[in-house]
Every structure is written in C-alpha cells, then in structure tokens.
A and B are shown apart, each in its own frame.
Chain A
Amino acid sequence: MWFSTRPRALFAMAAAVLLLAGCGQAPVRDAGTAAPPGGGVPAPSPAADGVKAPAAGAPRPATPRPERAEEPAPARAPAHADGGSRSGAAAAQELIARAGQRFSAGDLAGAEQILERALRIDPNHPVLWSNLATLRLEQGRPAEAVELYRKSNRLAGAERRLERYNWQMMAAALDRLGQAGAAREARARAGSLAR
C-alpha cells in the first residue's frame, strides 16, 4: 500500500497548508456586500473591442455598473470590496492549522469537524477542501477523497502547485480504488502542471 503510513499523510497535510501560506496571492472570492465604489468592477477597457482578457483567477462581477466606470482602474481586477483580504480567510487559516494538530494527534474525526467549521467560514478555500480529501484518504475512503480533490481543484484557480498536488493525490486515491487508467491520467495531469 502506497499510502498506509501516517507520516506521509501528515506531510501531505502540512504541505498543503504551507502551500497556501506560501502563495500569498490566494484567488479572491469575496466581493463584499457593502461594496465601496469601484469594488469588484473590472477596469474599463478603453478599446471598445468587446474583448477583455481576464486576469487569471479573478472572478467577474455579474453586473458591471456603468456609473462606476469612471472609477480609477485598478491594475488587476480587485477581488474584494472589503480592503483586499478575503473575510474569514484568517479565521479559516487558523482553523486549518488547528485541524492539522488534531490530525497529527490521530483524532481524524476531530480534525474533520474543525475543517468543516472552517468551510462554513470560507467555503471556497481550496486548501481546505484538499485537506478534507486527505483526511478522507486517511480514513480509508478514497472514492470520497477523489471527489474532494476535484472540488479543491475546481477552486484552485491559478494555484498551480496546489492543483498539481491534488492530481498527484487523486492518482494515489485512484490507485487504491484499482482504477489504474484513471490514476495514470491523473498523474499525467500532475506532470503537465509541473512544467
């Protein structure tokens, strides 16, 4: 069994946590309800060609408001209206760390509860979903883990390293499920992201 030892899983978890800490520019998701002018609005394009290349990972507001078009154009689409920090991100981060401690102590159910708590606070946090997947793998539920890694990748945006890690883990989970073909594919995806 490739994944039967705890240290490896532990490392995986820690790696995922570090990953996010390392990439400070997490994809932004919170537009803020009480948006100050300009918040969440893409820069107006001087060229009326109708085409705008989106900044990687930046979400689009559904409702561009013409009356805000005269706001100064931000260099990158600002993700946020509430001052640049995703609300709840720090809280989620703290809970992820706490869950990591429970995980190290072998309290998987406890770690899971805390991760779910974090998820209510920051539902689109990709690392959170990845850790939840790792936890499932450790609990011996690889099928569920695969789906959770998928979910993490869905939210990973421009986080290439996380995405690559998720594909690698997914490959391992698929191996466990005896799905060699799918596992090979997942490894290939991971490999393609390495470059």
Chain B
Amino acid sequence: MARPTRTRKSSRPARSAGGAVRHFLGRLLLALVILGGLAALLVTTYLDQEVRERFEGARWSLPAKVHGRALELFPGRPLSAGAFEAELERLGYRRVASPDAPGTYARAGKRFEVHRRPAVFADGPAPGRRFSLAFADGRIERLSTGQGGSVARLEPPLIGSFYPAHNEDRVLIRLEDTPERLVETLLAVEDRSYFDHWGVRPLAILRALAVNLRAGETVQGGSTITQQLVKNFFLSNERTLERKGIELVMALILEWRFDKREILEAYLNEVYLGQQGRRAIHGFGLAARYYFNRPLGELSTDQIALLVGMVKGPSYYNPRRHPERARERRDLVLDILAGQGVISTARGRQLKARALGVTASPPPAGGRYAGYLDLVREQLARDYSEADLRSQGLQIFTTLDPAIQETAEATLARRLDGLEQDRGLPGESLQGAVVVTHAGSGEVLAMVGDRRAGRRGFNRALNARRPVGSLVKPFIYLAALEDDPGLALTTPISDAPLRLTLDDGDVWSPQNYDRRHHGEVTVVDALAHSYNVATARLGLRLGTGAVVDALQRAGIHRPLPDNPAMLLGSVELTPIEVTRAYQTLAAGGFDTPLRSIRAVLDADHRRLKRYPLRVRQAFDERAVYLVQAAMREVVRRGTAERLQPMLPRGLVVAGKTGTTDDLRDSWFAGFTGERLAVVWVGRDDNRPAGLTGSSGAMRVWGDLFARHPGRNILPPEPEGLAWHWVDPATGGLSAEDCEGSALLPFRAGNAPDHRAPCRGRAGVPAPLRWLQDLLGGED
C-alpha cells in the first residue's frame, strides 16, 4: 500500500520556523488524507475487480465425474435379490416401509418396490420412476413399471472423479434444488440476520473484538456468511488485521454487486467440509455424498444439522474420526433449531436420539476401481486435454459394472493369496491382471491391474507386456481353417518330433509340455490339449506370416515378430491386447474395438461426445465357429477341464490356457456368449511363478464366472455347417453313446468319411472318468 514519504520537498522559501512546521504538518496531513483516500479508492477498485472477475462466470473448476453402467432390469435377467440390494446400497438408497420419496425402496422377501431418483444417464436426464420387481431362482422373475414396460434401470453409480489440480472436489448444487431445511439450519447457526445485513454486522464484530481482546486470542469470529465466503473464496488462511480489513471491504463489495441468493448459493458450494488425503471436500453437495453417500436432497434434519455443525471446524468435528465431538456439535445445532422454533422441542429430542448415520468409510479419493479408471483416463486422453478433464465438470459414462469389478478385484486378491500359501511361495510375490468385457459389444465391464486393487501405479492389465504362450494358438487354427476350406476339426496332423533349421543356422525343435510326442492327432485334440509340436507344424505349413496377419486382423496393432517361435507364443502382449484379440473370437469373427466410455456429457447434460459401437467382419464366420467349438473342447476335456467343476452346470465356455517358459506367465482367456475375460498371473520381476495357465490364471477366471456366470447365450450358428458325433482322438465318425465321443461342427463336405470303433458304450463308471481326468495333460 502507498505510504506517504518525505520525497517531496517544498520549493518555496522557508517562513518562520514554527509557522513552517505547522504549515508543513498541515500539508502533510492533507497529503496523507488525499493519498489515503486515493489508496483506499485504488484498493477498493482493485478488490472490486477481483471480486467481479472471480465471481462472475465459472466460479469453480469442476471435476469430471465418472459413472459406471446403469443396471438394466428386465424379466429373465440373472440377478439375485441380494445382488440387487447391494446395487441399491451402492447407490445410497434407503430401505423404508413405503417408498414414497426418491432414493428409497421397500423389500418383502424377494420382492422389491423401488422409487428411482431422477437421474442423468448416458442418453440424457430421465425423471424419477417407481417400479416393482420380484426375484426367483437367481433371476428377475417379474418387473412392473406401472407403464406396461418390460425394462427399467437404476441410475449409473458414481465411481470416481478427476478433480482439479488444486485438489478441490465438489458436486455443484443450485439454490433452488437445495433443501429449505439446510438453508434454515445454516442461517440459524451461522448468520441469523443474513437476509437483513449488508455483508457485515458491525456490532457483532465489535462484540467479537471485545471478547478476543479479553481472551488475548481470537476466539470469536462474528463473521457473516458473506464474510466467510470471502474468506474461503478470495483470501488465504492467515489471520491478520489487514486481512480482516480487506475481508470487510470485499464482503461489502460482494453484497453491493451481487444478489443475496447468489452469494448464498456460492457459499453452499464453496464451504470447506473435510479432507481426504490431498482431496478437499467442498460444498454441501459433495459433503452429503462424502459423509452419507446420498444426494443432498435426501438428507434428514439431523444429518443436515451434522453438516452445518461441521462448518465451524471440519477436521475437529469430523464425524468419522471424532464421533462424540461431532455428535455434541450436531445436538447443539438441533437445540438451536428447536430454540428458534424451526423444529419442535420434542422433535429435537427425537432427532438427537438418532445415530450419526455417517457411512463407515468414504470411497477412496478419486474413486474406487483405480485399475478401471486408468483405462477410462487413457481413452479420454485421446479426445480431451487433462486441463478440461479436471475443470469442465464433464459427466463421463463408462461401461464399468461395479459388481463384476468388485468380484474381479476380490477373487484375484484371494486366489493369489491362496496360491502363495498352497505352494509355499513368498507372500505378495505373485501379481495379476483381469479384464472382463461384454462379448457382443466389446464394452469393458471390469479391469484390475494389481492384486491390491486400490493401489495406484503400474497397471498390469494395460501395461504389462508378457509372452502369451499358447494363447496364440486359436489364431493359428483360425488362420489355418480359413486358409484351407478342406481342413476339418478331425483332420489329422502329426505331433512327431519336428526339427527346423532356421536362416541363422540354429535348429528349432519345439517340445510339448509333457515332453512326449503323440503321433497323429486331430486338429481339435491338438488345440484342446495344446500340443506344441502339432500346432507348430500346422503353423509352419500355413506360414507364420498368415498367423501374424490373423492376429492383426483380430485387432492387435503392434508390430509382431514373424518367426517360428511366435507360433508357440513368444509374442509379447498386454492383457488388454489379448482381450482385444479374443474379443474378435468371442464376437464371431467381428473385430469389435474395446470401449470403456459410452458418452460424455457437459456439466449441463448436453451430449458432447459419443463413442459409437463399430464392428468389422475380420474372419470367415464358419472358421471362427469351428475354432469356438474347439475352444469349448479345451474346457470340456482339454487343458482347462478342471474349470468345469468350478462353474454352474451347463454353462457353455470356450477358453484357452497359456503357460510360458519355466512357468513365468500363467494365462487364461475364455468366454461365454455373454462375457469374455482374460486373466494373467505372474511375477513383476519376471521370475518363474511356478504356475501353469490352468493352475493359476484359470482359477481366478473360474472364481469370477462362478460368481457372475451371466446368461448362457449360445453362439449363433452360421449356415452351411453340419454336426456329427465323432471320436476326437481318431477323427472317425462315432455315436453319442460311444465313450469319449464329441459332437462337432463341420463345413459342408468336410465330414469324416470313416467310422471309428465305438469304444464302450455310455455309462462309463464314474471312477474311470475320474482317473481319466487325473491323467489329462497340462498345457
């Protein structure tokens, strides 16, 4: 601030000493007054500009909010009553006797009545709605929407946010949507004459000053809502007299320039109400979610009292850390409300008897499902700058299924713990990754990139490049079946020792996992039992270039090595890349890019960007269907046969195990008609994990699908195929009741032309079956 100094000397001749001094002092005083006035004017103008600049237009950088998928409800959908209620709880719905208010539901046994909130979906806002549904046998048995419809949905759950660089997080609310009770309570406690004063209350300030002087420290504020807003919004946290002065001036300016209601709305959004690590909880809208997992409009009076009470000291009165203090403070606020006649004394007593109602723990800062959010961020980065993501209040609608995500996280963690214990491996030595997608659309339902799902950092699902081992095999068979229309699943190939002299003179001689050779084997058996030598022979006959081409058509875009070793899976891919390739298989040969984002809306719910579904036929449909059939044999009686007992009976699964040299990587990729999942298990330091595909990754896969089998949708059958019972070992025609026979599809004219001897008739005693299982080959 400008301070007058003795820089200006009088140019006039001096008069008498006394007169001169008086004259000088007089002039000085005048100068001081003028300068002081000028300075005050300057400061005021400056502050006025400051206030207007910050207060007009966008007041806050708003975090982008990320939502999961909306749970679709329709008769026949596999969903248990428990899982449905878990979703309601995730969304913060309250169980009541009669669901008259949005955000509530009633439950009687397996019947629910739900009052859905008005909500914003990927396709825009939708009004609140009531519907009832009944569950039976793990499915939705009946759904009644009252409008004759047969489909309804719950709102998409909030799963995270990308908040601004200064770490302020908030959920913006408008005054007209703010509960009247909140405004009443806030004003009763913080500023009773808010609608009458000009921004400051001189008497209150004097009173506070007196109290503070007596106490020798600042104990009382006497601040109005306006002053508090100024303090939070414009000023730093220091407490000096000068700052207090600026605060007063700014409060007056704010009141002069803006409407009371506008200032109040800003206050409601600005007020600081908690801290989670580096994330600052601002405004009542976010606080309601943070402490109660509910929208502000659904808070009860006692909950509002708790939040208003916390304004005084959010960390001192933190209800999670200091519940007694918070309770005392809340009760005091309730007393004030009763004292002012906002509520009756009896009601006050009732409310004071209530528990705090705060959720045990807030969702982790930034969101749960860190692994999935990495994927979302990566996809968003193609269209949005980091700055926009953190400031424009974008509403991002993803394809995440929280129930599957949570199961994937939990099963990976539990399985790896179990594997380490069973095998005497050091704790936390194994790592893993899981990707789950919707088979038809390529939407990513879940992604885990670390066995400790909450940990941020290296996301193995996205970034761990590992040799894929036998996961490459289905693409060799696909390329071969496509290339040669005469090739059938029963065509014999030789598994006899193979030696190939490479260009550099080295000899390449692939080995089977069991170190044995199996002579002549059928195509289907070579894949089902993952015979390396037979597969290598098939791949060499076809040419490795064709296999590279097939992988690229399936959606792998990185350059791939074109050498014999790639036939046995030396090619290194990340789990998400493997998922992309298997997605093409699961979708019947249609290349279907993976998507984690359905739509992006702006803060006003206008559609900014759509991520439309695209497909491209990449393979002959019949060849794909044959490979799918062979992959079902992998699960039925091949390297993944131990998967079956883990799954619901009759669930049709096509899959492939993958194991790499010295058991470093354990892979499993498998799909039903509804979902595809790829699992990798291994070690970060790339040392042997001691696990095959079926003893590691496949277990995680099995745990996941045991919990979420989904619908048993069968792959649609292309035309021009015929089914035959065959003996898969010899490739001859067989019959359904012959031991070991398999029903396989054939292209027209490709059916076996010879008959296999029928080995025994059906009804093989169970122990024999068991023995056979025991001897079943590994990868």
Contact = CB atoms under 8 A, between A and B. Distances in A.
Interface of A: 27, 29-35, 39-40, 42, 44-45, 48-54, 57-66, 69, 79, 81-82, 85-88, 90-91, 94-95, 109-110, 112-114, 116-117, 119-121, 123-124, 132, 144, 147-148, 150-151, 154-155, 157
Contact of A154 (B75, B124, B590, B629): B590
15 contacts: A33-B78, A33-B651, A45-B735, A50-B741, A54-B722, A60-B723, A62-B654, A63-B650, A66-B737, A113-B122, A113-B610, A121-B72, A154-B590, A154-B617, A154-B716
B123 A88 contact: no
A80 B715 CA distance: 13
A151 B615 contact: yes
Nearest to B644: A63
Given A31-B650, A66-B763, A124-B673, A52 B724 contact: yes
A147 B357 CA distance: 53
Contacts of B712: 30-33, 35, 40, 81
Nearest to B745: A60
Contacts, number: 199
Contacts of B51: none
Contact of A87 (B122, B139, B724): B139
B733 A51 contact: yes
A110 B610 CA distance: 10
A35 B649 contact: yes
Given A124-B440, A147-B590, A30 B636 contact: no
B272 interface: no
Nearest to A133: B615
B748 interface: no
A63 to B, nearest CB: 5
A110 B123 contact: yes
Contacts of A120: 72, 438, 440-441, 443
Interface of chain B, main secondary structure: loop
Contact of A50 (B614, B615, B648, B725): B725
A35 to B, nearest CB: 4
Nearest to A87: B76
B613 A116 contact: yes
Contact of A33 (B439, B441, B650): B650
Interface string B58-85: 0000000000000010111110000000
Given A121-B151, A148-B615, 11 more contacts: A31-B712, A33-B78, A33-B651, A34-B648, A60-B743, A62-B654, A79-B714, A87-B711, A88-B77, A123-B439, A123-B674
Q: Please provide the 6 A-B residue pairs with the shortest distance between their CB atoms, ordered closest to farther.
A: A123-B440, A87-B76, A91-B74, A62-B632, A48-B735, A113-B123
A132 B590 CA distance: 15
A90 B75 contact: yes
A65 to B, nearest CB: 8
Nearest to B629: A62
A88 B588 CA distance: 21
Nearest to B121: A113
B151 to A, nearest CB: 4
Contacts of B50: none
Interface string B642-656: 000000111110100
Chain B interface size range: 35 or more
B762 interface: yes
Nearest to B616: A147
Given A29-B716, A113-B599, A147-B617, A121 B74 contact: yes
Nearest to B710: A33
A60 B717 contact: yes
B13 interface: no
A90 B150 contact: yes
Contacts of A48: 735-738, 758
A40 B743 CA distance: 14
Contacts of A66: 736-737, 762-763
Given A109-B607, A116-B598, A61 B588 contact: no
Nearest to B152: A91
Contacts of B52: none
A164 to B, nearest CB: 14
A79 to B, nearest CB: 8
Contacts of B722: 51, 53-54
Interface string B738-756: 1001010100000100010
Interface string B553-596: 00000000000000000000000000000000000101000000
B615 A31 contact: no
Interface string B699-726: 0000000000111111111100111111
Contact of A63 (B590, B632, B713, B736): B632
Nearest to B148: A94
